[in-house]
Structure 1
């Protein structure tokens, strides 16, 4: 069967809310053209999968027949060959070694760090103080993942450097990934800032790695898991460069997703008074003034629904795969070497899967309603063998941070200061100004 060709080209970047509307219209148009739609990105033909069941089939059922696509080829030289960008047997080997770092028992220990950092963050707030919420969320996420990674005195220096440099790396790295290759060679201030930030982070992380090898002490942090990990088939560990690449992967993945979700969660609580009231009531009942723990997450049922709804509303825009052999998806047969696109944002806002999809509705995650959501319709962390290894870590951190804020504070939007939205791989809030108001 031939795959239909949709008119137009897929936009990669946007910078305004109007661009978001155009993207929504574009993906809605693709749905009308079929479950698998061929589109052209410049001279590169690609296949856009719009049906959630076929996305699930692509990621899970046909997972061994695909690997990361062209976008990740561009990210690899920038962010290294860690779990997010590696492929094939190397990826399987690395995942087996990294997976224990995010075992439920270890995440429960990291939760203590999350709660302490969140408590320290909100302890500095003052009644009536205006907070720049996206900056607060970024600072908290960097500190949590940095302290979970490094527990030594030298590691503390690494955390400071990560706070200083990571967002330059994130911002400019995404720009490089979607720009022609010659752009990174131009003598531009942004290029110099990026190169300097990468050099500083690489130097301090490798210094910590070498220090760990000299001491050889398992301190229970993420770095210790990476350093002591062994391939069960060969008994080999990771080289220093491999450890560095996985550290970069954990930093990028652990900061960006969590910071975005936390900022948007606080934004949605402020915009939805009834949701905020229910979160406050649940936090008061479960915590009763205590610092939240990992064990409390299971009892914060409505808060978990809020986190799911935030992850549904504000996911990455699109992801790519490349076929290793002809792949049958529904009535379409994709040729070997085909670039395949699916959009978590489009899937999460598809009215066929979610009633009134642009409304913030945590109750759609109640057990009876969630059971009706099709497979593949909710993929904030991907699915299958390539699902984000740190998904439990991220969800726990978001819930603990929101619970910590909700226990003592309300955040109220500053009148006349609408939130601006910038787009790269996802919707980034800019200028999310909110006033801290004590609950009592």
Structure 2
């Protein structure tokens, strides 16, 4: 049970480097100090919300009282002012314009791209071959998002540049965002590589945008939707820079989440033969040997439960909001400008919401059990007006990719090769080696 915090009696915790080395244990332990804990991170005073009910208030019922927090201020110069980083009226305008790109009809068409990308990769495997699963997952995610954004015949160079540069941007971006500003000016190799990767991606995206404007034809890709979109209220279209910023947002958000979820899905299936058997039986029954289509996603009920459990177990570490007016959470008054932090990882591993939280249990997402999960306890894509606009695309990609691969192959752990975990914004597998075994 979480402990209520009375106004004026807010717990205060200091910040230390040793604590951050065990950051997941640290953020998870904060719930023992109350529903809202004042936490001084260096010179920044923050309010850490540990109670899922209050997280729901933060994101949904009182969401209009908050904007993106200090972390996103650091992201904005790197990734631009896209949906992930923008605020206020501009964010609402951009969301209206971007949303049609993720209509179900569009996603149904992209499902074919997803199944083909997964099948093409799986066709290169050989029986008994040891695969580096996180690299395969990243390759599929980049191909899918790249081809969905840029039609193959028009944006081939852009897709190749995404493959080359995106993971440098992803892995170094969080490091830079969490570092003091002076660090990015130090002439380190990592800084040079990061700056070069960002510059290359910016240049290639703007080049594709200019090329599209010369032809002005809907090519059925996400870029076409962004460039043709008109704001219903003003009639305005996006500028080249605005389109660039939204493309960067879709690349960063669309690749990392799905690549990690896919890698951890195969890892968890390999660790639990019982869960794997149920998934394989369901895939065989639903697909009957054919490639998956969008309509199959809803039919793969148990596979969806597995994906939910992966998203629960391996979420991002923390997210931030900033109060734009005086507001109260859980009886604690927050002043305008207050930085508020919550940890999806801590929420997803709270035993009050998820008994035995470290155990992988897809059955906790059966309809009868899922109904008891408190609001705010499961937030893999956020919630409220700022929920990730591409969450249906991401779920479709994860399920369709997994079903395509599992209809042909099993991935078996390699004995004596335990997977290592690297933490940046989320848990990255490192050295996730699995042996490809063909299905008979």
1:133–1:433 Cα contact (<8 Å) kept: yes
Matched, 1:70 2:76: no
* Alpha-carbon RMSD: 1.3
The equivalent residue for 2:135 is 135
Aligned residues: 434
Moved more, 398-407 or 190-199: 190-199
Taking structure 1 as the reference length, the TM-score comes to 0.96
Change in Cα spacing, 1:13 to 1:255, as seen in structure 2 (3 Å) is farther
Q: CA deviation at 1:417?
A: 1.0
Deviation at residue 175 of structure 1 after TM alignment = 1.6
Alpha-carbon separation, structure 2, partners of 1:205 and 1:429: 29
Q: Does the CA-based 8 Å contact 2:13-2:38 persist in structure 1?
A: no
2:30 is matched with: 30
Distance 1:88 1:277 in 2: 47
CA distance in 2, matches of 1:222, 1:8: 45
Distance 2:19 2:219 in 1: 42
Structure 1: which 5+ residue stretches go unaligned? none
Structure 2 unmatched ranges of 5 or more: 1-6
State yes or no: 1:45 paired with 2:51. no
Could you say which residue in structure 2 is the equivalent of 1:393? 393
After TM superposition, list the pairs within 5 Å mapping 1:141-220 onto structure 2: 141-220=141-220
Determine helix, strand or coil for the equivalent of 1:173.
helix
Q: In 2, distance between residues paired with 1:87 and 1:297?
A: 33
**Aligned position for 2:8:** 2
Q: Contact 2:130/2:433 (CA < 8 Å) preserved in 1?
A: yes
Alpha-carbon distance, 1:153 to partner: 2.8
Q: Which residue does the alignment assign to 2:382? A: 382
Q: Per-residue displacement from partner, 1:363-391 (whole Å, max 9, x unpaired)?
A: 00000000000000000000001100000
How far apart in 1 are the matches of 2:378 and 2:411? 28
Query: How far apart are residue 12 of structure 1 and its match?
Result: 10
Q: Structure 2 matches for 1:333-372, cutoff 5 A?
A: 333-372=333-372
What's 2:425 paired with?
Answer: 425
Q: CA deviation at 1:356?
A: 0.9
How far did 1:125 drift?
A: 0.6
- CA contact 1:316–1:345 (8 Å) conserved in 2: yes
C-alpha distance in 1, partners of 2:208/2:9? Answer: 51
Find the aligned partners of 2:23 and 2:253 in 1 and give their Cα distance.
24
- Bigger shift: residues 246-255 or 405-414: 405-414
Shift of 1:13: 9.8
Mean Cα deviation higher: 221-230 or 404-413: 404-413
> C-alpha displacement at 1:105, in angstroms?
1.1
- How big is the shift at 1:2? 1.7
Match of 2:404 in 1: 404
Q: Distance in 2 between matches of 1:6 and 1:335?
A: 16
TM-score by length of 2: 0.96
Q: Tell me the equivalent position of 1:241.
A: 241
Distance 2:369 2:344 in 1: 20
Distance in 1, Cα, partners of 2:431 & 2:309 = 22
In 2, are the aligned partners of 1:145 and 1:254 still within 8 Å (CA)? yes
Q: Distance in 2 between matches of 1:200 and 1:49?
A: 38
Worse-superposed segment, 278-287 or 193-202: 193-202
CA distance in 1: counterparts of 2:110 and 2:216, whole angstroms: 21
The verdict on how the C-alpha distance between 1:246 and 1:11 changes in structure 2, with shifts beyond 3 A counting, is farther
Over 3 Å counting, the alpha-carbon distance change for 1:11 and 1:109 in structure 2 is farther
| Alpha-carbon contact 1:6-1:30 (below 8 Å) kept | no
1:294-320 deviation per Cα after TM superposition (whole angstroms, max 9, x unaligned):
001111000000010000000001000
Deviations 1:265-308 (A, max 9, x none): 00000011100000000000000111011001111000000010
Contact 2:11 2:34 in 1 (8 A): no
Distance change in 2, residues 1:39/1:414 (3 Å): same
Deviations 1:231-289 (A, max 9, x none): 11110000000000000000000000000000000000001110000000000000011
User: In the TM superposition, what is the alpha-carbon distance from 1:61 to its structure 2 partner?
Assistant: 0.6
